Structure 1
């Protein structure tokens, strides 16, 4: 399945997302999220809406799951390629004490798959 010339680079982009969620190394942020990306989801019964720039600041100011030796859970559940330049990827990822179910909208921008929208759901608290 990863022999598809479109799919392999997309899955590499998903791996970059997983790495960023675990190590909070924002020096790689621009290789994961488009500058115009928005994040939406409910957390603590409130709809949160974040711009990519705000999310970057949040990651930079928060201790990473890696620094806390938190368990790592990262699963790709669905890949839906709409075209050679657009896809949706459903993932499950644990970030410290929260397990999320994320829908990541990707667009291929200047030959790089970047997240342009993230819809998240807190699936479980540890």
Structure 2
């Protein structure tokens, strides 16, 4: 009986060790780090400064945006969204607090999603951002957003 238990334990330990491939986990950590850097350098800074050229570095052409703002449906193409960003007062110039926070990132092969919170103007946005790794670069391919009252 002890031999069977020991054999089963060693077999299970081998399977667990094999399932937790350190190289694969490292890759996911590197991808999460790359997404974090892209969000901080391009997404948050682009939003704060109202800089559409910076936002274009992380938003893939053809990205669609959906959600609701103050309970009203929101649906825009990337170009409609960037036009709005270009023609509004920037959060930087508004004098109101701005804060972008990454709440979570999940990577699965060449796709990922990030949940972020953005406080700007008088809004408290939650964005769910879908990413795809294209040409070895993580880009947002879909944005879903909503605002909540605190």
Identify whether the pair has TM-score above 0.5, normalized to the shorter chain.
yes
1:116 aligns with 2:147: no
The question of 1:14 aligning with 2:26 is answered: no
List runs of 5+ in structure 2 lacking aligned partners.
1-25
User: 1:55-66 to 2 correspondence within 5 Å?
Assistant: 55-66=81-92
Give the aligned length. 123
**Aligned match of 2:50 in 18, 24, 28?**
24
Alpha-carbon contact 1:21-1:95 (below 8 Å) kept = no
Instruction: State the superposition RMSD in angstroms.
Output: 1.7
The answer to whether the 8 Å contact 2:64/2:75 transfers is yes
| Structure-1 residue corresponding to 2:14 | none
Return the offset for 1:26: 1.0
- Give yes or no for the alignment of 1:89 onto 2:114: yes
More strand by share: 1
Comparing both chains, which one has the higher relative contact order based on Cα–Cα distances under 8 Å and sequence gaps of 6 or more? 1
- Looking at structure 1, the residues matched to 143 and 120 of structure 2 have their Cα atoms a distance apart, in angstroms, of 15
Paired residue secondary structure (1:62) = coil
Q: Which has the larger radius of gyration?
A: 2
The match for 2:67 among 41, 44, 55 is: 41
Residue 105 of structure 1: aligned partner: 130
**Partner residue in 2 for 1:72:** 98
> How high is the TM-score relative to the length of structure 1?
0.89
Report Cα offsets for 1:73-125 as digits up to 9, x if no partner: 21111111111x21000000012111101100011122221111111010137
Where is the helix percentage greater, Structure 1 or Structure 2?
2
